[in-house]
Amino acid sequence: MRPVTRNLILAIETSCDETSVAVVADGTEMLSNVVSSQIDLHARFGGVVPEIASRSHLETLEPVLEQALEEAEVSPTDLAAVAATNGPGLNGALLVGVTAAKTLALAWNKPYVGVNHLEGHLFAAFLERPDIEPPLITMLVSGGHTSIVHVRARGDYDVVGSTIDDAAGEAFDKVARYLGLGYPGGPVIDRIAENFEGEPIHFPRGMMDGTLDFSFSGMKTAVINYVRKHPDTPNDALAAGFQEAVVDVLVSKCMLAVDRFGVATACLGGGVAANSALRQRFAAECDARGVDGLVPARQFCTDNAAMIAAAADWRLRADGPTPLDTGATPNLRLGSRA
């Protein structure tokens, strides 16, 4: 058994299509982080089906919970708290994790902590680099979100830029579906682009000059229009070109925010931050500016409970437990707890 003097948090994440349970010590040291992905269940629908996600969480949560405790080699009595993502996300999916966490808190006589999923993504950075300190800029890119967050301090966030239409991951999914490449679009396009050696098609960037906001819907339309005009274009040239355009916009905007707020640290987060081209370009641009650019390991970019535990550790210290008579908030905003 591990020493029990540390602050051990068990966290549950079920906001979308991953069932995950993690145990984290002192908000930074990951003892376990079990993730069960439902991607195969949703692939034939080309997107996440909420009712399928909810049913799958209910079935998978217990085995995942058991494995997370086993791998962490902790017993429930050692825990300081039990946490769960309580928004934003799919209502039915969130309720499974929230209900399980509250029930465990009751049964084990521990405090319960409800965690904002987006705040979890922000805290993923601290899992690998406990040394970094705000102020910093974090760009959150996923299937549901694309935003640039000015983290002034832990708990003090300003969303300084966000998408006005599709999220980046959604745009990848839509373009991949249009080109018949499969689901999920991000990883598929990433793989194609990585192996592509020709000249990518150049698409307009949709920079929305001067603002930190994004628009990806026009870029998706540009791909469709291009294919209509040039039906013989190989898919890999289109996919590589689209990815290049998206990455260009994302990194340019992020660097604009870094310059505008004069921060010395920039982080990536969210599922799309697993994209190789985005990771490389982001790291290179940070280097060129002399900014500490943090690209978390892929397991901390995609949805995972370790980042929820990291955020819960801080939230518990900052404002104490969440009452047991709270539920989930599907459209929870960053900075709100419930």
Residues within the interface to another protein (CB under 8 A)? 15-18, 45-52, 54-55, 58, 61-63, 65-66, 76, 87-92, 95-96, 98-100, 102-108, 117, 142-145, 169-170, 173, 184, 270-271, 302-303, 324-328, 330-332
123: its two tokens: 């805290």
Query: CB of residue 42 vs another protein: minimum separation in angstroms?
Result: 9
CA–chain centroid gap for 102, Å, is 23
Q: Toward another protein, which CB reaches closer, 157 or 226?
A: 157
- Residues 12 and 51: their CA atoms lie apart, in Å, by 19
Least Å from the CB of residue 309 to another protein: 17
Cβ neighbours of 50 (radius 10 Å): 17
Among 173, 236, 303, 313, binds Zn ion (CB under 5 A): 303
Contact window for Zn ion (CB under 5 A) among 32-40, 250-258, 302-310, 320-328? 302-310
Structural tokens at position 249: 């916009």
Residue 296's binding partner among Zn ion, another protein, none (Cβ under 5 to 8 angstroms by kind) is: none
Q: Could you tell me the smallest distance in angstroms from the CB atom of residue 226 to another protein?
A: 25
* Cα 64 to Cα 12: distance, rounded to the nearest angstrom: 10
Residue 168 CA to residue 170 CA, distance in Å, equals 5
CB of 195 to Zn ion, least distance (A): 27
Least distance to another protein, CB of residue 92, Å: 6
CB nearer another protein, residue 195 or residue 331: 331
Tell me which stretch binds Zn ion (CB under 5 A): 101-109, 183-191, 229-237, 298-306.
298-306
C-beta neighbour count of 317 within 10 angstroms: 12
Q: Which of 289, 304, 257 is nearest to 149 (CA)?
A: 257
- CA angle centred on 289, ends 286 and 291, rounded to 5°: 55
Q: Are the C-beta atoms of 172 and 193 separated by less than 8 Å?
A: no
Write down the residue that tokens 């921060």 correspond to. 263
Between 207 and 338, whose beta carbon lies closer to another protein? 338
Query: In terms of Cα–Cα distance, which of 290, 265, 268, 292 is closest to 279?
Result: 268
Cβ 100 to another protein, closest distance in Å? 5
- The smaller minimum CB distance to another protein, of residues 7 and 326, is found at 326
Footprint (CB under 5 A) of Zn ion, residues 117-156: 142
Footprint of Zn ion (CB under 5 A): 142, 303
